[in-house]
Structure 1
Amino acid sequence: MALEIERRFLIKNDKWKKFITKKTYIEQGYLSKNIDDWIIRIRFTGKDYKIALKKYIKSFTNFEFEYPIPRKDGAIIMSNLSNTIKKERFFLEVEKKSWIIDCFKENNYPLEIAEIELSDEMEDFSLPSFISKEITGLTHYSNFNLANKPFSKWKEEYLTTFKSN
Protein backbone atom coordinates (compact mmCIF):
# COMPACT_ATOMS: atom_id res chain seq x y z
CA MET A 1 0.00 0.00 0.00
CA ALA A 2 1.38 3.41 -0.98
CA LEU A 3 0.90 6.09 1.67
CA GLU A 4 1.81 9.75 1.44
CA ILE A 5 2.24 11.45 4.81
CA GLU A 6 2.78 15.12 4.10
CA ARG A 7 2.63 18.48 5.87
CA ARG A 8 2.39 21.76 3.97
CA PHE A 9 3.33 25.33 4.86
CA LEU A 10 3.35 28.84 3.46
CA ILE A 11 6.74 30.51 3.08
CA LYS A 12 7.70 33.84 4.64
CA ASN A 13 11.06 34.61 2.98
CA ASP A 14 13.64 33.46 0.41
CA LYS A 15 16.06 31.86 2.87
CA TRP A 16 15.09 28.45 1.49
CA LYS A 17 17.02 29.13 -1.73
CA LYS A 18 20.40 28.39 -0.11
CA PHE A 19 19.29 24.78 0.52
CA ILE A 20 18.37 23.88 -3.11
CA THR A 21 19.79 20.58 -4.32
CA LYS A 22 17.71 20.16 -7.52
CA LYS A 23 14.80 21.70 -9.41
CA THR A 24 12.29 20.62 -12.00
CA TYR A 25 9.36 22.08 -13.92
CA ILE A 26 5.96 20.44 -13.44
CA GLU A 27 2.69 20.73 -15.30
CA GLN A 28 -0.19 18.71 -13.94
CA GLY A 29 -3.86 18.35 -14.62
CA TYR A 30 -6.81 16.57 -13.12
CA LEU A 31 -9.31 14.12 -14.53
CA SER A 32 -11.35 14.19 -11.29
CA LYS A 33 -14.17 16.60 -10.60
CA ASN A 34 -14.60 16.16 -6.84
CA ILE A 35 -11.95 16.48 -4.10
CA ASP A 36 -13.92 14.20 -1.75
CA ASP A 37 -13.41 11.14 -3.96
CA TRP A 38 -10.31 9.63 -5.58
CA ILE A 39 -8.23 12.32 -7.27
CA ILE A 40 -6.82 11.29 -10.64
CA ARG A 41 -3.85 13.42 -11.64
CA ILE A 42 -1.58 13.44 -14.66
CA ARG A 43 1.86 15.05 -14.30
CA PHE A 44 4.44 16.07 -16.89
CA THR A 45 7.99 16.85 -15.73
CA GLY A 46 9.46 17.86 -19.07
CA LYS A 47 10.57 14.36 -19.93
CA ASP A 48 7.93 11.91 -18.75
CA TYR A 49 4.29 11.59 -17.81
CA LYS A 50 2.85 9.87 -14.76
CA ILE A 51 -0.68 9.24 -13.69
CA ALA A 52 -1.52 9.19 -10.01
CA LEU A 53 -4.51 8.16 -7.95
CA LYS A 54 -4.83 9.88 -4.58
CA LYS A 55 -7.36 9.57 -1.78
CA TYR A 56 -7.49 11.35 1.56
CA ILE A 57 -7.43 8.94 4.54
CA LYS A 58 -7.01 11.02 7.71
CA SER A 59 -5.06 13.90 9.24
CA PHE A 60 -2.26 14.46 6.71
CA THR A 61 -2.14 10.94 5.27
CA ASN A 62 -3.32 9.94 1.78
CA PHE A 63 -3.25 6.91 -0.44
CA GLU A 64 -1.04 7.69 -3.43
CA PHE A 65 -0.44 5.35 -6.36
CA GLU A 66 1.66 6.71 -9.24
CA TYR A 67 2.48 5.04 -12.56
CA PRO A 68 4.42 6.07 -15.68
CA ILE A 69 2.41 6.30 -18.87
CA PRO A 70 3.58 6.57 -22.49
CA ARG A 71 4.60 10.08 -23.50
CA LYS A 72 2.20 10.16 -26.47
CA ASP A 73 -0.75 9.14 -24.26
CA GLY A 74 0.19 11.67 -21.59
CA ALA A 75 0.42 14.50 -24.13
CA ILE A 76 -3.03 13.69 -25.52
CA ILE A 77 -4.62 13.54 -22.07
CA MET A 78 -2.93 16.75 -20.87
CA SER A 79 -3.89 18.66 -24.03
CA ASN A 80 -7.55 17.89 -23.31
CA LEU A 81 -7.58 19.20 -19.73
CA SER A 82 -8.53 22.72 -18.74
CA ASN A 83 -7.85 22.40 -15.01
CA THR A 84 -4.06 22.41 -14.91
CA ILE A 85 -1.33 24.01 -12.83
CA LYS A 86 2.27 24.85 -13.62
CA LYS A 87 5.01 25.17 -11.06
CA GLU A 88 8.72 25.02 -10.48
CA ARG A 89 9.61 22.44 -7.85
CA PHE A 90 12.75 22.86 -5.79
CA PHE A 91 14.22 20.05 -3.71
CA LEU A 92 15.96 21.05 -0.49
CA GLU A 93 18.01 19.39 2.21
CA VAL A 94 17.51 21.17 5.56
CA GLU A 95 18.83 19.69 8.82
CA LYS A 96 18.95 16.20 7.27
CA LYS A 97 15.32 16.43 6.15
CA SER A 98 14.09 16.62 2.57
CA TRP A 99 11.78 19.52 1.78
CA ILE A 100 10.03 20.54 -1.44
CA ILE A 101 9.17 24.10 -2.42
CA ASP A 102 6.56 24.59 -5.14
CA CYS A 103 6.63 28.02 -6.80
CA PHE A 104 3.41 28.30 -8.75
CA LYS A 105 3.17 29.98 -12.14
CA GLU A 106 0.51 31.73 -14.21
CA ASN A 107 -2.85 32.02 -12.40
CA ASN A 108 -1.41 30.71 -9.13
CA TYR A 109 1.57 33.11 -9.03
CA PRO A 110 3.05 34.25 -6.57
CA LEU A 111 1.97 31.38 -4.31
CA GLU A 112 4.84 29.33 -2.83
CA ILE A 113 4.24 26.23 -0.71
CA ALA A 114 6.72 24.14 1.27
CA GLU A 115 6.09 20.42 1.83
CA ILE A 116 7.76 17.78 3.92
CA GLU A 117 6.98 14.09 3.52
CA LEU A 118 7.19 12.07 6.71
CA SER A 119 7.61 8.37 7.44
CA ASP A 120 4.75 8.49 9.97
CA GLU A 121 2.40 11.08 11.42
CA MET A 122 4.34 11.25 14.70
CA GLU A 123 7.74 11.92 13.07
CA ASP A 124 9.53 14.79 14.74
CA PHE A 125 11.04 17.64 12.72
CA SER A 126 11.88 21.29 13.26
CA LEU A 127 10.57 24.12 11.13
CA PRO A 128 13.20 25.98 9.09
CA SER A 129 13.35 29.79 9.38
CA PHE A 130 11.65 30.27 6.00
CA ILE A 131 8.42 28.54 7.12
CA SER A 132 5.32 30.55 7.99
CA LYS A 133 1.78 29.28 8.55
CA GLU A 134 0.90 25.58 8.33
CA ILE A 135 -1.73 24.90 5.67
CA THR A 136 -1.95 21.11 5.97
CA GLY A 137 -5.60 20.17 5.54
CA LEU A 138 -6.69 23.56 4.16
CA THR A 139 -8.22 22.21 0.97
CA HIS A 140 -8.27 25.53 -0.91
CA TYR A 141 -4.45 25.22 -1.01
CA SER A 142 -4.53 21.71 -2.52
CA ASN A 143 -3.10 21.37 -6.02
CA PHE A 144 -6.47 19.99 -7.15
CA ASN A 145 -8.30 23.10 -5.93
CA LEU A 146 -5.60 25.43 -7.28
CA ALA A 147 -6.18 23.86 -10.71
CA ASN A 148 -9.92 24.49 -10.43
CA LYS A 149 -9.92 27.79 -8.50
CA PRO A 150 -6.57 29.52 -9.07
CA PHE A 151 -4.97 31.69 -6.42
CA SER A 152 -5.47 34.81 -8.60
CA LYS A 153 -9.25 34.30 -8.40
CA TRP A 154 -9.50 33.82 -4.64
CA LYS A 155 -11.90 35.96 -2.68
CA GLU A 156 -10.79 38.06 0.27
CA GLU A 157 -11.57 35.36 2.88
CA TYR A 158 -8.81 33.11 1.47
CA LEU A 159 -6.40 35.95 0.79
CA THR A 160 -6.58 36.97 4.45
CA THR A 161 -5.16 33.57 5.38
CA PHE A 162 -2.36 34.04 2.84
CA LYS A 163 -1.50 37.60 3.85
CA SER A 164 -1.32 36.76 7.56
CA ASN A 165 1.70 34.48 7.12
Structure 2
Amino acid sequence: MEHIEIERKFLVKSNAYKKEAISQIRIVQGFLNTNAERTVRVRIKGDKGFLTVKGRSNESGTARFEWETEINVNEATNLIDLCEPVILEKIRFEIPMGNHVFEVDEFLGENKDLVLAEVELEHEDEAFVKPSWLGKEVTGDVRYYNSQLSKNPYQDW
Protein backbone atom coordinates (compact mmCIF):
# COMPACT_ATOMS: atom_id res chain seq x y z
CA MET A 1 0.00 0.00 0.00
CA GLU A 2 1.38 3.42 -0.90
CA HIS A 3 0.64 6.79 0.67
CA ILE A 4 2.27 9.97 1.89
CA GLU A 5 3.31 9.44 5.49
CA ILE A 6 2.99 12.57 7.63
CA GLU A 7 4.41 12.20 11.12
CA ARG A 8 6.10 14.11 13.90
CA LYS A 9 8.78 12.61 16.10
CA PHE A 10 9.70 13.43 19.71
CA LEU A 11 12.07 12.34 22.44
CA VAL A 12 10.33 10.84 25.48
CA LYS A 13 11.14 12.30 28.90
CA SER A 14 9.57 9.73 31.25
CA ASN A 15 8.24 6.18 31.18
CA ALA A 16 4.70 7.26 32.17
CA TYR A 17 3.55 6.21 28.66
CA LYS A 18 3.83 2.55 29.72
CA LYS A 19 0.79 2.91 32.02
CA GLU A 20 -1.25 4.33 29.10
CA ALA A 21 -0.15 1.76 26.48
CA ILE A 22 -2.81 -0.50 24.96
CA SER A 23 -0.27 -2.81 23.29
CA GLN A 24 3.41 -3.60 22.98
CA ILE A 25 5.25 -5.63 20.37
CA ARG A 26 8.86 -6.50 19.57
CA ILE A 27 10.19 -5.26 16.22
CA VAL A 28 13.36 -6.34 14.42
CA GLN A 29 14.27 -4.39 11.31
CA GLY A 30 17.08 -3.89 8.88
CA PHE A 31 17.76 -1.86 5.78
CA LEU A 32 18.60 -3.27 2.36
CA ASN A 33 19.23 0.30 1.17
CA THR A 34 19.78 3.54 3.13
CA ASN A 35 20.22 5.89 0.18
CA ALA A 36 18.92 9.41 0.98
CA GLU A 37 16.56 9.26 -2.02
CA ARG A 38 14.99 5.98 -0.91
CA THR A 39 15.27 3.54 1.94
CA VAL A 40 14.25 -0.11 1.68
CA ARG A 41 13.38 -1.63 5.03
CA VAL A 42 12.67 -5.21 6.09
CA ARG A 43 10.73 -5.54 9.33
CA ILE A 44 9.57 -8.40 11.51
CA LYS A 45 6.77 -7.21 13.77
CA GLY A 46 5.66 -9.99 16.08
CA ASP A 47 4.99 -12.92 13.74
CA LYS A 48 4.56 -10.86 10.54
CA GLY A 49 7.04 -9.67 7.94
CA PHE A 50 6.96 -6.40 5.98
CA LEU A 51 8.90 -4.82 3.13
CA THR A 52 8.80 -1.00 3.03
CA VAL A 53 10.16 1.61 0.64
CA LYS A 54 10.32 5.23 1.80
CA GLY A 55 11.18 8.27 -0.30
CA ARG A 56 13.05 11.44 0.64
CA SER A 57 11.41 13.59 3.34
CA ASN A 58 10.08 17.03 2.52
CA GLU A 59 11.94 20.13 3.78
CA SER A 60 10.35 20.08 7.26
CA GLY A 61 10.94 16.34 7.63
CA THR A 62 7.26 15.63 8.32
CA ALA A 63 6.11 14.02 5.04
CA ARG A 64 7.41 11.44 2.60
CA PHE A 65 6.24 8.74 0.21
CA GLU A 66 5.83 5.30 1.76
CA TRP A 67 5.00 1.93 0.16
CA GLU A 68 4.63 -1.17 2.30
CA THR A 69 3.55 -4.75 1.76
CA GLU A 70 3.29 -7.74 4.06
CA ILE A 71 5.63 -10.63 3.28
CA ASN A 72 6.08 -14.09 4.76
CA VAL A 73 7.97 -13.92 8.08
CA ASN A 74 10.45 -16.54 6.85
CA GLU A 75 11.20 -14.41 3.79
CA ALA A 76 11.63 -11.39 6.06
CA THR A 77 14.05 -13.35 8.26
CA ASN A 78 16.10 -14.34 5.20
CA LEU A 79 16.14 -10.73 3.94
CA ILE A 80 17.27 -9.45 7.37
CA ASP A 81 20.42 -11.54 6.84
CA LEU A 82 21.15 -9.46 3.69
CA CYS A 83 20.66 -6.08 5.40
CA GLU A 84 23.29 -3.46 6.12
CA PRO A 85 24.58 -3.41 9.70
CA VAL A 86 23.24 -2.56 12.38
CA ILE A 87 19.96 -4.51 12.73
CA LEU A 88 17.57 -2.47 14.89
CA GLU A 89 15.58 -4.03 17.70
CA LYS A 90 12.92 -2.22 19.68
CA ILE A 91 9.77 -2.61 21.71
CA ARG A 92 6.87 -0.54 20.35
CA PHE A 93 4.11 0.69 22.63
CA GLU A 94 0.84 2.09 21.25
CA ILE A 95 -0.82 4.85 23.28
CA PRO A 96 -4.14 6.41 22.25
CA MET A 97 -4.22 10.16 22.90
CA GLY A 98 -7.17 12.28 21.78
CA ASN A 99 -7.87 11.47 18.11
CA HIS A 100 -4.42 9.99 17.52
CA VAL A 101 -2.27 7.03 18.51
CA PHE A 102 1.33 7.61 19.58
CA GLU A 103 3.87 4.90 18.83
CA VAL A 104 6.65 4.88 21.40
CA ASP A 105 9.76 2.90 20.52
CA GLU A 106 12.19 1.72 23.23
CA PHE A 107 15.34 0.82 21.36
CA LEU A 108 17.53 -2.13 22.35
CA GLY A 109 21.07 -3.18 21.49
CA GLU A 110 23.37 -0.45 20.16
CA ASN A 111 20.52 2.11 20.43
CA LYS A 112 19.70 1.21 24.05
CA ASP A 113 18.42 4.13 26.18
CA LEU A 114 16.87 5.89 23.17
CA VAL A 115 13.09 6.27 23.44
CA LEU A 116 11.21 8.00 20.61
CA ALA A 117 7.53 8.80 20.11
CA GLU A 118 5.86 9.32 16.74
CA VAL A 119 2.38 10.50 15.87
CA GLU A 120 0.97 10.10 12.36
CA LEU A 121 -1.15 12.97 11.07
CA GLU A 122 -3.58 13.60 8.21
CA HIS A 123 -1.91 16.93 7.33
CA GLU A 124 1.24 18.74 8.45
CA ASP A 125 -0.39 21.44 10.59
CA GLU A 126 -2.94 19.15 12.25
CA ALA A 127 -3.36 19.78 15.98
CA PHE A 128 -2.89 16.88 18.40
CA VAL A 129 -2.92 16.33 22.18
CA LYS A 130 0.62 16.35 23.61
CA PRO A 131 0.99 13.93 26.52
CA SER A 132 3.00 14.97 29.61
CA TRP A 133 5.76 12.43 28.83
CA LEU A 134 6.48 13.96 25.41
CA GLY A 135 9.86 15.69 25.24
CA LYS A 136 11.77 17.71 22.65
CA GLU A 137 10.59 17.49 19.04
CA VAL A 138 13.15 15.89 16.71
CA THR A 139 11.08 15.78 13.50
CA GLY A 140 13.41 16.27 10.55
CA ASP A 141 16.58 15.57 12.59
CA VAL A 142 18.07 12.82 10.42
CA ARG A 143 20.07 11.38 13.34
CA TYR A 144 16.79 9.96 14.67
CA TYR A 145 15.71 8.29 11.40
CA ASN A 146 15.77 4.51 11.86
CA SER A 147 17.91 4.19 8.72
CA GLN A 148 20.51 6.49 10.31
CA LEU A 149 20.34 4.77 13.71
CA SER A 150 21.37 1.61 11.89
CA LYS A 151 24.50 3.41 10.56
CA ASN A 152 25.27 5.63 13.56
CA PRO A 153 23.80 3.98 16.68
CA TYR A 154 22.75 6.12 19.64
CA GLN A 155 25.43 4.50 21.88
CA ASP A 156 28.13 6.07 19.62
CA TRP A 157 26.86 9.67 19.99
With the length of structure 1 as denominator, give the TM-score of the two structures: 0.88
Q: Distance in 1 between matches of 2:10 and 2:57?
A: 20
Unaligned runs of 5+ in 2: none
Name the counterpart of 1:4: 5
Name the counterpart of 1:46: 46
Q: Distance in 2 between matches of 1:79 and 1:56?
A: 25
Q: Which structure: greater strand fraction?
A: 2
Look up the equivalent residue of 1:92 and give its one-letter code: I
SS at match of 1:77: helix
Look up the equivalent residue of 2:33 and give its one-letter code: S
Look up the equivalent residue of 2:121 and give its one-letter code: L
Q: Distance in 1 between matches of 2:45 and 2:56?
A: 24
Q: Distance in 2 between matches of 1:84 and 1:115?
A: 20
Once the 2 structures are TM-superposed, how far is the Cα of residue 80 of structure 1 from its aligned partner? 2.6
Q: Distance in 2 between matches of 1:17 and 1:70?
A: 30
**Identity over aligned pairs, percent:** 31
Runs of 4+ in 1 over 3 A off after TM superposition: none
Number of aligned residue pairs: 153
Q: Distance in 2 between matches of 1:90 and 1:152?
A: 22
Look up the equivalent residue of 2:97 and give its one-letter code: V
Once the 2 structures are TM-superposed, how far is the Cα of residue 50 of structure 1 from its aligned partner? 0.6
Once the 2 structures are TM-superposed, how far is the Cα of residue 135 of structure 1 from its aligned partner? 0.2
Unaligned runs of 5+ in 1: 155-165
1:151 matched to 2:157? The reply is: no
Deviation per residue, 1:92-136 (Å, 9 max, x gap): 012332111000001101100010000111211132110110000
Name the counterpart of 1:79: 81
Once the 2 structures are TM-superposed, how far is the Cα of residue 46 of structure 1 from its aligned partner? 2.7
Q: Output the aligned Cα RMSD.
A: 1.3
Computing the radius of gyration from Cα coordinates, the structure with the larger value is 1
Trace 1:4-153 onto structure 2 (pairs within 5 A).
Answer: 4-34=5-35, 36-58=36-58, 59=60, 60-81=62-83, 82-153=85-156
